[in-house]
Structure formats: C-alpha cells, structure tokens
Amino acid sequence: MVHAADFAELTQYRGKDILVVGAGNSGSDILNHLAGIDTGRVRVSVRHGPVVFPRRLYGIPVQRLSPLFSVLPVRVAGALLSLTEYVAFGRLSRWGLHKHPAGGATRLLESGISPAIDDGFLAALKAGKITVVPAIERFDAAGLRLVDGQYLEPEIVISATGYRSGMEAILGHTGLLDERGVPLIHGAEQMDGYRGLWFTGMRPRLTGFFHLAA
C-alpha cells in the first residue's frame, strides 16, 4: 500500500498491475501521471465520481472562470460545474464515473473535496487503459474484495483517500480548528484573539490558493 503523498518516481510503476483508491483531486492527479507511461492494468476504485475540469475549454483556461463560480449560489455553481464537465468530456457515467448526489460545489463547501483536473486521465479511461471499479469492501493477506464481489490482487495499491492538515499538535488548543483539523478562518478572515494570523491552502476554494494569499 502506497499513500498518494509517497507516490514518488514513475519508473517504479512501469508494467505493474495498479489499483488507485479514490479519484478525487489527488487520485486524478496520480491517474494523469500513470496515463502517460507504459503500465500494466490500471484500475481506480471509487464510490462516486469526482467533478472533473479540463485545463482549458475552447482554448480558455478554466481557472479563469473560478471567480464567477465562487460568487454564485451553491446550487447554481454546482450545476455549472457539472455543465462544464459535460461540455468538455461528455457523460462520464458511460465509463463508470457516476456523480455524487451532493454536487461538486456542495462537496467543496461541506467536505473540502475540490474538483479534479484532467491531464490525460479521462482519455486513458475512454481508451480502456484505465478501468473504474466499485469501492473496496475489505483487504486480506493476498488481495482485496470489492463491494460487488470481485476479488483483485494488484501488485501496487495507491491510497488517494485524502489528507489531514496535521495542525492539531500546533493549534489544537486554540479553538481555531474544526473537527477535521482545518482552520475556521481562511484568506483575509481574522479571529478575535489571533489578529495577524492568516491561513491559506488549508481549505480548497474554486478561486485557488493564490487568490486567497493575495
């Protein structure tokens, strides 16, 4: 088992049978990299598909649209995220990436799960180089069983199931963190008693971290 944080050199994945667990931001980034090398079988285990952005849409960097998304009501922004994905890639459920019922903007707001960025993953998925499989039910000494009964024995399992901030040891006593260890304030926001303390990069935003840092 390899965590996404320890993904390391691509050369160690050449020719390997690989299972990536999770297709969110970090999982999709890993799949973007794997799509560009000569691997063996690559599968990705998901419960729900992510909202996926292209880098560019009709030649326009999609990131430039993020200020518009960020000021819209959450439901409207979620609908536009889905529409952008559909215009760029078509109906991804045909390849096993089914939408989360909450929608991309709601998941970002409530869980900090940001849209994924495609850079080769979806082309590899449509070409059959990458296959979507259901969630994992359990591991054993030899392999793992999926919730649909399939039994897999991949050579490498890459866990892309998220990160914690790791800030509890530093700020856990201050009341500045929520139950997930994420700061309650971000960007230009301030909290009484801690004037002059800012956070950026700890909670994903559609506008990106450079906008918050400014």
Its sign, for the CA torsion 4, 8, 9, 12, is negative
Phi (first) and psi of residue 16, to 5 degrees? -90, 150
What's the confidence (pLDDT) of residue 179? 86
Q: Is 212's pLDDT higher than 70?
A: no
pLDDT digits (tens, 9 = 90+) for 35-88: 999 999 999 999 888 888 888 888 878 777 777 777 788 888 888 888 888 999
| Pair 130, 52: CB distance under 8 Å | no
DSSP-based three-state secondary structure for 143: coil
What are the tokens at 9? 């050199």
Q: Report d(CA 45, CA 148) in Å as an integer.
A: 12
Average of per-residue pLDDT values in the chain = 88
What totals of helices (H) and strands (E) does the chain contain, helices first? 7, 12
State the pTM of this model: 0.85
| Pair 47, 99: CB distance under 8 Å | no
| Pair 124, 23: CB distance under 8 Å | no
| Pair 148, 84: CB distance under 8 Å | no
What are the residue boundaries of the structural domains of the chain, listed by start? 2-159, 166-214
Average pLDDT over residues 133-152: 95
What's the confidence (pLDDT) of residue 208? 67
DSSP-based three-state secondary structure for 108: helix
Q: Is 90's pLDDT higher than 80?
A: yes
DSSP 62-104: GGGGHHHHHHS-HHHHHHHHHHHHHHHH--GGGGT-PBPTT-H
pLDDT digits (tens, 9 = 90+) for 201-211: 887 777 766 76
DSSP-based three-state secondary structure for 43: strand
Q: Report d(CA 179, CA 177) in Å as an integer.
A: 7
Q: Report d(CA 153, CA 125) in Å as an integer.
A: 20
Cα angle 117, 122, 125 (rounded to 5 degrees) comes to 145
What's the confidence (pLDDT) of residue 89? 93
| Selection from 66-75, 90-99, 107-116, 200-209 with the highest mean pLDDT | 90-99
Confidence at 6, pLDDT banded by 50, 70, 90: very high
Q: Which fold has domain 2-159?
A: FAD/NAD(P)-binding domain (3.50.50)
